[in-house]
Amino acid sequence: MTGLLSVERLSKNFGGLQAVSDLSFEVAEAEILGIIGPNGAGKTTAVNLVSGVIQPTSGRVSLGGKDVTGHAPHALVESGLVRTFQATTVYAGETVRENLLRGAFRQIYPGLLPTLLETAAARARREQANAHVDEVMHWLDLMRVEHNIASSLPYGIQKVLGMGIGLAAEPRLILLDEPAAGLSAEETDHVRDTIREVRKRGIAVVVIDHNMRFIVDLCDRVLVMAQGRELARGKPQEVLRDPRVIEAYLGKRYAQAQH
């Protein structure tokens, strides 16, 4: 098992606040890693650090053996890493297809001069990107709403579309920041199945969420964070039985009562 993403001793200080300290983990090809933890554990900061939205104070991020620490998000997309955002982030006023085509920027954009001159290479890229967008719509079951305006879609579908925008960039690894937040049980199941579908295509997934059942159902491994540090890691069922994890979530008394 070779590591696709490798994070070593990543730390971030905001002023005096140690938001993330000494965080290390690896993600293998086509693996689903869950990151959980109570509010304020530093999960979102960790995702922001890995995806280049903020710069780490120290530590190293490498992707496929290449050091990408502190690279800007658009450069990371080039290296095969994309992310989604906690709140639904879609282009609200555009159709589903247009949303996905914008996500496919990396494949569709041939450079300024070729796109202005509409060269053969530019046309070939557009055709390829269109075909790939069709494929993404198939995986995510978005064919029926292809020409609908994103803001008119139910919240759950918008979340799936947000994921689709990321997938349109043909990543090797996708970071999902709370893909199931605010969804009904039924919608959550749909998102879960969709993520499994994504993994089947050989794409590694790092997913943050609060919904424990969702994470346990979905992930190969789970990393638990508390106060910016790693608290535990391992198979979902094992991790959930770990007294330190129970303590972090439910308090000391509860953890002792269990044992």
Partner 1 sequence: MGARNRTFAILAAIVLLGWPWLTDDKFLHHVGVLICITSIAACSLHLIIRTGHVSLCHTAFMGFGAYGSAITVMRLGLPWPAGLLVGTALAAAVAAVIGPIVLRLTGKYFVLITFLMGEVVRMAIVENASLTGGSNGIFDVPPPYPFLLSNRAYYYFALAFAVLGVGFCARLLTSEFGRAMNAIREGERLAECSGVPVIRFKVTVFVIACALAGMAGSLQAHYIRFVGPDAYSGFQSLNLVIMNVIGGMTSLAGALIGTVFMVTLPELLRGYVNIQQILFGAILFATMAFLPGGIIEAVRRVRGLFMPSKPRPAT
Q: 161 or 226, CB closer to partner 1?
A: 161
* Contacts of partner 1 in 26-55 (CB under 8 A): 51, 53
179 belongs to the binding site for partner 1 (CB under 8 A) = no
Residues 6+ apart with CB under 8 A from 112: none
105 belongs to the binding site for partner 1 (CB under 8 A) = yes
- Listed residue (153, 127, 129, 126) closest to 141, CA to CA: 153
* Contacts of partner 1 in 63-92 (CB under 8 A): 72-75, 77-78, 82-85, 89-92
Q: Please report the sign of the dihedral spanned by the C-alpha atoms of residue 197, residue 199, residue 202, residue 205.
A: positive
What is the SS3 assignment for 71-116? CCHHHHHHHCEEECCCCCCCCCCCEHHHHHHHHCHHHHCCCHHHHH
Candidate ranges 11-19, 118-126, 202-210, 219-227; the one touching partner 1 (CB under 8 A): 118-126
3-state secondary structure of 19: strand
- Listed residue (149, 173, 175) closest to 161, CA to CA: 149
Least CB distance to partner 1 at residue 211 (A): 23
146 belongs to the binding site for partner 1 (CB under 8 A) = no
Q: 134 or 220, CB closer to partner 1?
A: 134
Binding site for partner 1 (CB under 8 A): 51, 53, 72-75, 77-78, 82-85, 89-95, 98, 101-106, 108-110, 112, 115-116, 118, 122, 126, 147, 165-166, 168-169
